[in-house]
Chains A and B, each alone.
Chain A
Amino acid sequence: MKNSSLSFLKWGGNVKKLWIHAIANIRKTKSASTTLVIMFVLAALLLNSGLLVVINYGSFFNNLKGELKPSDVYFAIPDKIYTNEVKSYIDENEHVKQTQTNDGIVLDANILSNGEEKSFPIMFSNMDEKRGISKWKYVGEHLPAEDMSVYVPDIFKAVSGYQLNDKIELNYTDEESKAEKTLTFTVKGYTEDIYFSSTDTGYIGFYLPEDTYQKVKGILSKPEYLTHVVFTNLDDVKNIPVIENGIREILNLNSASLMAADPSTMLVVIDLELIQLARCMMASMVAAMMVMFAMIIVIVCVLVVRFRIINSIEEDIMKIGSLKSIGYTSRQIILSVILQFTLIAGIGSLIGVALSYPALPAVSAVFEQQSGLKWKQGFDGGISGAAFFILLLIVILIAFLAAHRISKLNPIHALRGETTARKYKRNHLQLEKAKGNLPITLAFKSVLQSMKQNVMIIVILIAVTFSGVFGVIMYYNTTIDTKAFAEVPGMEISNVIAVLNPEKNQTEAVKTIESMDNVRKVQYLDEVKVKVDGGEVVAYLMDNYDRKETKLVYEGRYPENKNEISLAGILAKRLDKTIGDTVTVRYGENEEQFKVVGLSNGSQMGGLSTSILAKDYERLNPNFKHQSLYIYLDKGTDAGKFVDKLESEFDKSMLLTAIDFDKEMAEGMASYQNVVAAMGLAMLIITLLVVTLVLYFVISSSVIRKKRELGIQKAIGYTTYQLMNQLSISFTIPIVIGVVIGTILGALYTNSLISLSMKSMGVMKAGFIVDPYWVTAFCVSTIVFSYLLSMLITWRIRKISAYALVTE
């Protein structure tokens, strides 16, 4: 008992000694320790935030689903076509387990959002109607209902800026009279509703108290405004297309065309999987990138820690020698080193994890712009603990491996500092034979002599520059030239889409449109539904794919010949088909074999889309008539004004509807663009911060290590500026190598990385623009920035005194 107490006391005493040494070392190297702490703060902040989003964002949505009980799917059926037959079909269908029908009023309205007028597809619902499934709930504070009160999705507060009691105006065009009208409400609260709270998928739900709802119904009484939302739970979600098809067949909805031929007959079908994908996918993608970026920072931290340990062993060799000579074991000294760096990493990681929590609302706000989800993350001890301990474990391991060399140090040699003096054997770049300027030659000499350090700098700069270039490309494609980003959903991008009456002869109308001012090109592109190998998919139809402007095929080509088909990548994977394989395409009773000639990007309809020639489809469906005319305008032409022109040129008997596609795209992509642009910018800023920290760390350490050498050079007549330049050039060389390689890798592989992260969105092969000027500018700026930073950091050489050296 006495022995074990003594042993424990002895152990406790030893730990205290090691602790004292560790703290003393940290105090001695305050600047280096502070830099390391900052790096770990950054790593921990990113890692914890990323993990919290990756793990908790999805489960947050699942919890919300559990609370609000959304149905598997909803069918929004306009009043005009909601017949008893349709009602019975759904209610009595063998696959349908449960339905709930709620009335709604739909309206395409322009609403002021954050200073800009934007178009929203609104669905007014009666908030007093009871719901068993697909419920909604209040978010945050809400006020009692009054006349013309409205309860809007929380996104209207978070993004559009509407506070309680603010007036919200819905401007719309009366379909019949073409008059501009306004509905004005007072915001009395905010809502969350799984299906109707996102701005880019389906409708946006505005909840009105009963009397206001009836009032609005009276104002918007025409058939095109009234709809019935049938929330449906099925035995198996795979049967959703079965139900949808059945409805379309009953209603004979324009030969299975999906386009909004007549708004009052447009069937909207949104399933839970789609809405979940739409609302969570962006966050998942961003979180995955945050974690990836965090791991890069962790790798940088680990390299820097290793570098620091090896340097500090060299600097303190005599101290280690004296510790050994007075009886400290190698294990004790190694432990004190491990303790020192674990402490630094621990402090940094703790601060980083703590800071990630106040930072998360900002991250959540960015996601909310796109998803409409108000995600609040409280303290998660499990995830934060894991992030903290992962970092600590990595540091302990690296510190152990780096400090292990202490066990090989001979105390006498260490006391003499003999092991510090590197045994140089090879004289790189002999001055006798070297041509060129002295400082540059000395700089290159230094580079060749410090290969290990320079390799570390190169590796760090490659990793960090790669991330920076990734950020530049993301930012460029979402802010400067958004063409490639706009192609991500996989839609053909024109300026205007004219939906023409398929029952009429369109030849003259098309000719007229083609000859209108500012029209560059017109072509038909229709969307229909077919079955491919038994599964329901969307098929795009064109007469000639050569005229397609948005090329989405990443392997092979579009159909050119009879019975050729290109598949979206997701569909191809699902069917396990590739180029050269054959698939069966069926419409109704007709089916034919098609040869797969291409694979394309496409996220429409969950990536279940194909492209075939219109004439091939006509054989399968002889009733098919072209309907959607894509109109391509000259650059700079106002698509909105062109739509007005079309509507004044043609009446409703020919032109069923005209869509300002520029506006639709801009509004649809805006939230995604903001998220990705913010991410790109953040990566860029963090890259520069990491470069600054690493350079500060490495160069400062180097100046301290080279103090003797620099002092000698000063003594023999080198000026401070000459030495600053020499040292800066010696660092700029590995920096240039690292930055150039990182830039090239970033330029070559960013699209591969984007493809990897966007695969679930149907982007099998990203084609983001890698603008050579921007990328080169980033590369050059990083190098210039690094050189200037080096000069700034090496300015401390002025404090190195030749006199101090010789008199020390």
Chain B
Amino acid sequence: MAKVILKTNKLNKSFKSGTQEQQVLKNLDIEFYEGDFTVIMGSSGAGKSTLLYALSGMDRPTSGAIRFFDAEIADLNNDKLAVFRRQNCGFVFQQMFLLDNMSIMDNILASGYLVSGDKKSIVANAKELFQKVGLTEMIWRKFPNQLSGGENQRAAIVRALINKPRVVFADEPTGALNSAAGNAVLDVLTDINSGGQSIIMVTHDLHSARRGNRIIYIKDGVISGECNLGKYVSGNKLRHEKLQSFLSEMGW
């Protein structure tokens, strides 16, 4: 039985717009398991990213509980959430959000040194990760504006992994990339997941969704269905058909 790493209990999130309150997540009860590549899908405005950021401590829910391993994170204040995030979470954003004024290596170390004072091992780890994602020294000495989208996103993945997070949260990681670059990024994510890294990814892209072994569909703030695809195998048509069928059922 896979270990539960994240669990929500009656998770609610609403936003105020003027005098109106819009509820995005409604009494969500869900669990996430260690080692899974979980993909959250849904139509635009369904609450996918809202759920992702609540789970990762980037945003606080309106009510409900979130248990992240042994920690209850729903009621932590901003600074405690920041500390929690740096120690447990890695983020891959659609816009990458690398710091423009630093080299790629410095971007990684600015995250790494935050958690560990052992600078030597952080640097060594970074270099290993760069190799893993296919970024050479010439690349990681450069600034973000000097690299392509795909290179930047792979660098962002290294940043996400530098502190050995318990979970990597990816929000539309291929959204700003062309298909070749997007594939490269997805290959990296698949590869790290195969090494045991838990990943929770939000996407509306079918091609990206295929990489997950577990698909959760959100509609109008509630979980309307989930599907277990099993481990990703490239070119597995049955798996792809199963996914398509599930999504059709969901009304996607």
Contact = CB atoms under 8 A, between A and B. Distances in A.
B159 to A, nearest CB: 7
A807 B79 CA distance: 19
A716 B165 CA distance: 11
A12 to B, nearest CB: 38
Contacts of A422: 100-101
Contact of A720 (B53, B78, B87, B141): B78
A438 B117 CA distance: 9
Nearest to A709: B99
Contacts of B95: 806
Contacts of A425: 143
A413 to B, nearest CB: 13
A806 B171 contact: yes
A714 B59 contact: no
B188 interface: no
A237 interface: no
B87 A717 contact: yes
B7 interface: no
A450 to B, nearest CB: 9
A269 B145 CA distance: 82
A711 B97 CA distance: 9
Most buried by B among A446, A721, A802: A802
B135 to A, nearest CB: 15
Interface string B98-116: 1111110110011101110
B93 interface: yes
The A interface, classified by DSSP as helix, strand, loop or mixed, is helix
Contacts of B38: none
A506 to B, nearest CB: 83
Given A421-B145, A716-B86, A806-B53, A427 B79 contact: no
Interface residues of A, number: 33
B114 A442 contact: no
A248 interface: no
A711 B59 CA distance: 13
A431 B109 contact: yes
A412 interface: no
Contact of A423 (B49, B58, B91, B145): B145
B85 A715 contact: yes
B113 A709 contact: no
A383 interface: no
Given A431-B105, A715-B58, A716-B111, A424 B85 contact: no
Contacts of B143: 423-425, 427
A21 interface: no
A717 B106 contact: no
Contacts of B78: 719-720, 798
Interface string B45-73: 00001000100001100000000000000
Contact of B79 (A430, A713, A721): A721
Contacts of B87: 717
Interface in B148-186: 159, 171
B126 to A, nearest CB: 9
B227 interface: no
B158 to A, nearest CB: 12
A615 B98 CA distance: 87
A719 B78 CA distance: 8
Given A430-B106, A717-B85, A424 B97 contact: no
Contact of B53 (A421, A423, A445, A803): A803
B49 A807 contact: yes
Most buried by B among A714, A715, A716, A806: A716
A425 B141 CA distance: 10
B123 interface: yes
Nearest to B52: A806
A427 B93 contact: no
Contacts of A427: 102-103, 106, 141, 143
A398 B141 CA distance: 39
A432 B114 CA distance: 13
Contacts of A713: 99, 110
Interface string B127-145: 0000000000000010101
A711 B85 CA distance: 14
Nearest to A723: B82
A449 interface: yes
B105 A806 contact: no
A805 interface: yes
Given A424-B145, A715-B58, A802-B58, A709 B83 contact: no
Interface in A697-731: 708-709, 711-721
B85 A430 contact: no
Nearest to B58: A803
Nearest to B143: A424
A561 to B, nearest CB: 71
B101 A449 contact: yes
A709 B103 contact: no
Nearest to A424: B143
Nearest to B86: A717
Query: Which 4 pairs across A and B sit closest by C-beta, in order of nearness?
Result: A717-B86, A431-B109, A803-B59, A719-B79
24 contacts: A421-B145, A424-B100, A427-B143, A431-B105, A431-B110, A432-B109, A438-B114, A442-B110, A446-B101, A449-B101, A712-B98, A715-B85, A716-B91, A716-B111, A717-B82, A717-B83, A717-B86, A717-B111, A717-B114, A719-B78, A720-B79, A798-B78, A803-B53, A803-B58
Interface of A: 421-425, 427, 430-432, 438, 442, 445-446, 449, 708-709, 711-721, 798, 802-803, 805-807
Given A427-B143, A438-B110, A711-B97, 17 more contacts: A424-B102, A427-B102, A427-B106, A431-B110, A438-B113, A445-B101, A445-B102, A445-B106, A715-B91, A716-B85, A717-B86, A717-B114, A719-B79, A805-B97, A806-B93, A806-B95, A806-B97
